[in-house]
Amino acid sequence: MESEKKRDRINPEDWPDALYWRSGTYRKGNGTETIDPGRQGFPGQDAPPENTPDQLQDPRLAADEDSEPWFSRRPSWLGRDARACREYLDSLSDEEIIRKYEEARDRSVVWGGAEYYPNIQKLFLTPFEREKDRREIAAWQREYGKGEVAQWYQEAQEQSCVWWIENHLVARHAFNSCMSCGACTAGCPAAEFYDYDPRMVMETVQSKDEDSIVALLKADTIWYCAQCGTCKLRCPRGNNPFAMISSLRQLSELKGYHVHSTRGRQQYTARHLWGGNLWNRACSLYFRNSMVQFHLDFGPRFARYTLNKEEMHRRVGACPDMDGAMPARKVHPDTLHQVRRCLQEGGTLHLWDQIEHHGRQQADESGTDIDDYFYTV
């Protein structure tokens, strides 16, 4: 610990007293300040009056009590009461669950001269949030209807896989002709670590054999791609294998073939992790998603960051679950509405519906609670 101390830096054990908590500014050890507080404002968000005393000393202690099973991120085999959780959520009407979520989310306290929303961390990735999202997205679809892309997806579900490859915009632009040179596989980082061969994917597409394509869509193969784009740069024929794989992933989800593979089933978790972040926080990765137990290779400094996320973010001028214009902020409702409209018009909500439908169907067939299914896959 002593060896990690740097000149002019404030040590974590000295927080928060040694920090200057005012709208993202902080004082270095030499007394100088950094980060312009004016950048922390956001139109439509009223800052607390300057003479308002800070009501909060430690942001980690501000969230409401979360002992209820519907706020637990644990599977039932680690203590969550799945039956009580489901009975409570089912007892709420669509209007009630959305209202309760928004009331909890929007409860604020003053911290460091700005509004802080402690319950955002309580709600994220919980059974309560997932159930609210299902109901709210269904209400959105009823209000706004299906956009042009979603309608096309719906029609495409009834067509063959070959038809999709010939008509989906991404697939059409991703494939010219394959001469099986293997340049894509030779330069593929994923092929080095997995039983993965992008050349085989392109050969299967080129064959236009329906059964072979269906088998590919049911396999883990298409989910090994990291979408790095190396294959596109290497292909002498101008093909774009990683874009083709992205197209095939959408087709697999639309037809429900993804639940036949381990990596495919994990799209249910991804839909509620990254999708939940997009729907509720307008970002794909929420700053609280990082967990020490899953990143032990990141070392002790990352562990220290994880234990002091709020202070770390304020120190560099961010707005962790706060009003403001900088990263990690609570997104303004108008902005969130615009993001949701983009998701709806772009067909994303229809894809999420299919992932939800096929995941729930598989959970019911196996007798698994839907919130346990989130962890099982």
Query: Which pLDDT score, from 0 to 100, does residue 275 have?
Result: 95
Nearest partner of 329 among 108, 96, 103, 53, judged by Cα: 108
Tokens 């994220």 locate to: 124
Residue 64: the pLDDT is: 59
- Four-residue CA torsion sign, 292, 295, 296, 297: negative
pLDDT (0 to 100) of residue 85: 95
CATH code of the domain occupying 154-262 = 1.10.1060.10
Residue 34: HSE in the Cβ half-sphere, 13 Å Cα cutoff: 10
Amino acid, res. 76? S
Are 276 and 124 in contact by the 8 Å Cβ rule? The answer is: yes
Cα separation, 320 vs 34, whole angstroms? 17
Domain limits, the chain: 2-144+266-376, 154-262
Closest CA to 120 of 269, 330, 340, 338: 330
* CB neighbourhood size of 78 (10 A): 9
User: Distance between CA 340 and CA 280 in Å, rounded?
Assistant: 9
Low-confidence residues of the chain: pLDDT under 70:
1-66
pLDDT of 67: 75
Burial class (CB in 10 A: 0-12, 13-18, 19+), 311: buried
Helix 348-366 and helix 267-281, axial crossing angle in degrees, nearest 10 = 140
